[in-house]
Amino acid sequence: MGPLDGVRVLDLTNVLAGPFCTHQLAHMGAEIVKVEVPGTGDLARQLGGDHDLNADGMGVSFLAQNSGKRSITLNLKRPEGRDLFLKLVRTADVVVENFRPGVMDRLGVSAEVLHAENPELVYCAISGFGQDGPLAKNPAYDQVVQGLSGVMSVTGAPDGPPMRVGYPVADTLGGLTAAFAIAAALARPKPGRGTVIDVSMLDSMLSAMGWVVSNHLIAGWAPHRAGNDNIAASPSGVFQARDGALNIAANKQEQFEALANVIERPDLVDDPRFADRKSRIENRKALTEAIEAALASVDAGDWVDRLSASGVPAGRIMTLPDILAHPQVADRGLVDAVPTPGVAREVRIVRPGFRMDGERPKTHLPPPELGAQTETILDELGVSTGDRAHLKSKGVI
C-alpha cells in the first residue's frame, strides 16, 4: 500500500507532462483511470524509438509513463460520453487534464461543472503557460517552453548558439510540479469544497531555475552561456584527463587545496592568481590549463578515485547505458521490469528517484492497451449491456 492508496485519479492527459504527473501518483498507490479517445488514445502510443510498437499503439513514450493505470475509451464530445464522464467524476478524488485552456469549457466539463458533481474534487489543469495571461492559449511544446523560459539562453558554449536541454525538461518539471501540488491538496483536504490547481510549464521551469533567476533579480547578474563551467566557482567544470573527460567541482577552499595536493601541484594554492574564489574565477583559463596539464598523465577514472578519496567532488562523464549498468544504479532498484500484454518484449521503466521506509515505490499494473479496462469500469459504474451496445454504436466508447 502506498501513501495515496484509495485515491482515484481520472487522467485525461496526453503525451508527457500530464501522463508523467499521473505516473508519479500511480507509484504512490493511487488508482489511475486513463480516459482516452476511442480509436486513437494518447498520442504517446504512437511515439518512441520502435516503429513496430508505435504501429501497435504501444509506443515506448507511452510505455515509459503509463504503468499502474487502467484505460477506458470515452468520447467527451458526445453527450453520452460527457454523462458517463460525470458519473466517473462522482467516484473520483482527482481529475488531471493538460488540454489548452478553454477546451474543458467547450466540452462542458469545466472545473465548475465537475465541482457541482463532486464538491471536494481536486482539479488539476496542466498547460504550457497557465490558464490566464497573453500566452495562455498559445500551443506549447517542450522546446518552445525551454526557449521562452530562458533556459536555452544559459545552455551551450559561450560562443555557440542557444541549446535545448537534451531531454524534455519542461514537460517533466511541469508534471512533477503538478504531482506535488496534487499530493499537497490531498494531504490537507477542504471539507465541502474542492481545489483548482493551475500548473504552468513555463512557471515550473522558472521556479526550478531559481538559483539563476535570483542571481539576476538580487545581484543584477546577467545570465549567459558558460558551457560546462560553473559560473560561481573555479575549478568547477569539465576537465580533460589522459583518456577522456571528467567533472571536478572543487567549489570550496579546502577542496581546491585538496585537489592541488592530489594532482601534485601544491604550488597552485600559493599562487596569488588562485588565492580565493573570486580570483580563481577571474583566472579560470590559466587554472584550467594548469590542472589539465597535470591530469594528462593519468586516466579519468583513476583521478575520480583519487579525488573522491580526498574529499573532492569528481565523477566520470558517462553514457546513459553505462550509468544504468553501474552498480550504484543497478543495485538500488531504480529500473523495474513490467510484463506488458500486447508487447512481445521486456518492458523496463524508471521508478521514482527515492525510497520510502527503505522501499522504492512501484506500480502494480502494466501499461494498458487502449480501452483494455473499458468493460470493467463500465461494470463498476453499473452500465447495462444494452446501454453499452448503444454507446459503442454511437462511437462513445
Catalytic residue among 11, 142, 171, 229: 171
Alpha-helix runs per DSSP H in 28-134: 51-55, 60-63, 79-89, 103-107, 111-117
Question: How far is 17 from 76, CA to CA, in rounded Å?
Answer: 21
- State the Cα angle at 313 between 310 and 318, rounded to 5°: 120
Measured CA to CA, the distance from residue 318 to residue 328 in angstroms comes to 13
Helix axes 201-208, 210-219, angle to 10 degrees: 70
Secondary structure in 3-state letters for 305-336 = HHHHHCCCCEEECCCHHHHHHCHHHHCCCCEE
Annotation marks residue 171 as catalytic:
yes
Find out whether 182 and 123 touch, Cβ atoms under 8 Å.
no
Contact 124, 92 (CB under 8 A): no
Q: Characterize the bridge pairing of strands 195-200 and 335-337.
A: unpaired
Which residues is 123 bridged to in the sheet?
A: 95, 196
Cite the active site residues. 171
